[in-house]
């Protein structure tokens, strides 16, 4: 029993009813009628603070990569629909989430392979991990993809992925709000009638149209609920972070920039947000916690994070999660190279619903005591 549970049971205004034979019989009667007494569950459904079911964890790329590649010999994209190994948080297996309400998986595709076009109510992102020649088509817009590029397939858009025949085997991280949309019981799925889309626009046009620093195109209105810039390339992202690295940054996040819908300056999609974060050489952040679920991918460098008092060492392509309200702090292991962390999150939901809250770790100079494993 945690300190909070004990407190719950003794404090005025919280449920504290002891079982008696009469009450137990009463609960049985209510159950038969599809009802129950609130005081039997009140302390559970009204915790003092968020209690995530997600376990802080790391998926090391050196452990998973071979297994991901093996799936190529075991199943075809046609048979599997999508050849993906997903990240299964033991606290969230029931909803196939990597953390909170966020699903994530590693998808592998060989040169010349393609997956059929489809659309769904869930929104998705891709973050390219390795390989050349990958491309995605979203609503007729074809995007060429390289390592550390970030791509959107917003809810309701037709999308398909492929690797050009002169490319190399590609692995990317998929991230979707599927657990959330399923929890809201609002998910629809549809296969494209032709199984493939016609490319109806110049290649990479959405990034060229909307991705120019501080400049908005004079033609072309956009009023959809997601960013028209379907692809955010690595080179300008890194350049932007490097520019900001000369400022103080945040004691909790180092140098952090959110991928932005250029029309609204807000998050890229209605349910999923993303950021890229740089930890400068030798940088160690202070611990804080906030609501929302966060899935990090290390795209440059190595270091460690302390999450709820446990240390997780990471290196390039490792993926780790910070559940809602978990204390966390990050450190770059190198004194000469920066480290970069891509982060997928549900901040748009937290913010829109008025549920975002954060707190600094006050004790111990802002650093958590680290438990021994």
77 binds ligand 1HN (CB under 6 A): no
Q: How far is the CB of 209 from ligand 1HN (least distance, A)?
A: 23
Residue 246 to residue 240: CA distance in whole angstroms? 11
159 binds ligand 1HN (CB under 6 A): yes
- How many Cα atoms sit within 13 Å of 170 on the Cβ side? 29
Stretch that binds ligand 1HN, among 172-180, 274-282, 296-304, 364-372 (CB under 6 A): 172-180
Nearest residue relative to ligand 1HN (C-beta): 174
Output 101 or 361, the one with its CB closest to ligand 1HN. Answer: 101
Output 124 or 298, the one with its CB closest to ligand 1HN. Answer: 124
Output 158 or 252, the one with its CB closest to ligand 1HN. Answer: 158
Q: DSSP assignment, residue 41?
A: T
Task: Report residue 7: phi and psi, to 5°.
Answer: -60, -45
For the CA atoms of the chain, what is the radius of gyration?
23
Q: Which residues have C-beta within 8 Å of that of residue 93, sequence separation ≥ 6?
A: none
Stretch that binds ligand 1HN, among 20-28, 171-179, 200-208, 344-352 (CB under 6 A): 171-179
Q: How far is the CB of 59 from ligand 1HN (least distance, A)?
A: 16
Residues 117-156 that bind ligand 1HN (CB under 6 A): 124
x/- map, 174-213, ligand 1HN, by CB under 6 A? x-x-x-----------------------------------
Q: How far is the CB of 174 from ligand 1HN (least distance, A)?
A: 4
Q: How far is the CB of 105 from ligand 1HN (least distance, A)?
A: 6
104 binds ligand 1HN (CB under 6 A): no
Q: DSSP assignment, residue 286?
A: P
Residue 194 to residue 320: CA distance in whole angstroms? 38
Residue 219 to residue 209: CA distance in whole angstroms? 9
- Measuring CA to CA, which residue among 281, 273, 208, 218 is closest to residue 249? 281
317 binds ligand 1HN (CB under 6 A): no
Residue 308 to residue 285: CA distance in whole angstroms? 14
Q: How far is the CB of 164 from ligand 1HN (least distance, A)?
A: 17
What is the side-by-side strand order in the sheet with 319-322?
58-59, 319-322, 294-300, 339-345, 273-279, 255-258
What does each C-alpha distance from 231 to 148, 152, 154, 336 come to in angstroms?
Answer: 11, 6, 11, 30
Q: Which residues have C-beta within 8 Å of that of residue 362, sequence separation ≥ 6?
A: none
Residue 275 to residue 257: CA distance in whole angstroms? 5
Q: How far is the CB of 26 from ligand 1HN (least distance, A)?
A: 44
105 binds ligand 1HN (CB under 6 A): yes
82 binds ligand 1HN (CB under 6 A): yes
Output 142 or 300, the one with its CB closest to ligand 1HN. Answer: 142
Output 124 or 134, the one with its CB closest to ligand 1HN. Answer: 124
- The alpha helices in the chain, defined as continuous H runs, are 3-10, 21-32, 42-45, 61-74, 77-80, 178-183, 205-210, 234-244, 347-352
Q: How far is the CB of 157 from ligand 1HN (least distance, A)?
A: 10
Output 30 or 199, the one with its CB closest to ligand 1HN. Answer: 199
Q: DSSP assignment, residue 139?
A: T
110 binds ligand 1HN (CB under 6 A): no
Output 115 or 319, the one with its CB closest to ligand 1HN. Answer: 115
What long-range pairs does 128-132 form, CB within 8 A, spacing at least 24?
Answer: 128/170, 128/172, 129/61, 129/171, 129/172, 129/173, 129/297, 129/317, 130/169, 130/170, 130/171, 130/317, 131/163, 131/167, 131/168, 131/169, 131/170, 131/171, 132/167, 132/168, 132/170
Stretch that binds ligand 1HN, among 67-75, 141-149, 170-178, 203-211 (CB under 6 A): 170-178
161 binds ligand 1HN (CB under 6 A): yes
Q: How far is the CB of 17 from ligand 1HN (least distance, A)?
A: 43
The residues that touch ligand 1HN, with contacts defined as CB under 6 A, are 82, 84, 105, 107, 115, 124, 159, 161, 174, 176, 178
């Amino acid at each position: 029993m945690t300190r909070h549970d004990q407190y719950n049971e003794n404090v005025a205004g919280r449920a504290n009813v002891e079982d008696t034979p009469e009450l137990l019989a009463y609960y049985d009667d209510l159950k038969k009628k599809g009802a129950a007494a609130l005081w039997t569950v009140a302390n559970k459904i009204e915790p003092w603070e968020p209690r995530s079911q997600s376990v802080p964890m790391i998926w090391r790329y050196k452990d998973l990569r071979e297994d991901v590649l093996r799936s190529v010999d075991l199943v075809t994209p046609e048979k599997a629909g999508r050849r993906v190994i997903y990240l299964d948080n033991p606290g969230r297996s029931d909803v196939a989430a990597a953390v909170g309400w966020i699903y994530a998986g590693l998808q592998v595709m060989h040169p010349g392979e393609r997956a059929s076009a489809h659309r769904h109510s869930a929104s998705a992102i891709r973050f390219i991990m390795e390989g050349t020649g990958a491309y995605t088509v979203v609503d007729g817009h074809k995007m060429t993809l390289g390592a550390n590029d970030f791509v959107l397939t917003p809810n309701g858009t037709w999308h398909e992925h492929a690797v050009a025949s002169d490319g190399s085997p590609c692995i990317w991280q998929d991230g979707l709000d599927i657990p959330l949309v399923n929890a809201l019981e609002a998910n629809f799925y549809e296969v494209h009638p032709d199984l493939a889309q016609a490319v109806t626009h110049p290649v990479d046009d959405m990034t060229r149209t909307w991705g120019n620093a501080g400049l908005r195109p004079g033609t072309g209105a956009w009023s959809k609920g997601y960013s028209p810039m379907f692809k955010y390339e690595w080179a300008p992202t890194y350049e932007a972070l490097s520019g900001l690295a000369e400022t103080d940054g945040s004691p909790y996040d180092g140098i952090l920039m959110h991928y932005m819908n250029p029309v609204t300056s807000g998050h890229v999609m209605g349910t999923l947000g993303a950021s890229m974060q740089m930890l400068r050489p030798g940088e160690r952040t202070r611990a804080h916690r906030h609501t929302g679920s966060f899935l990090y991918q290390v795209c440059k460098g190595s270091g460690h994070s302390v999450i709820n008092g446990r240390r997780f060492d990471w290196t390039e392509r490792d993926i780790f999660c910070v559940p809602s309200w978990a204390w966390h702090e990050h450190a770059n292991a190198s004194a000469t190279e920066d480290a970069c962390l891509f982060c997928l999150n549900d901040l748009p939901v937290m913010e829109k619903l008025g549920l975002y809250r954060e707190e600094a770790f006050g004790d111990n100079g802002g650093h958590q005591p680290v438990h021994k494993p």
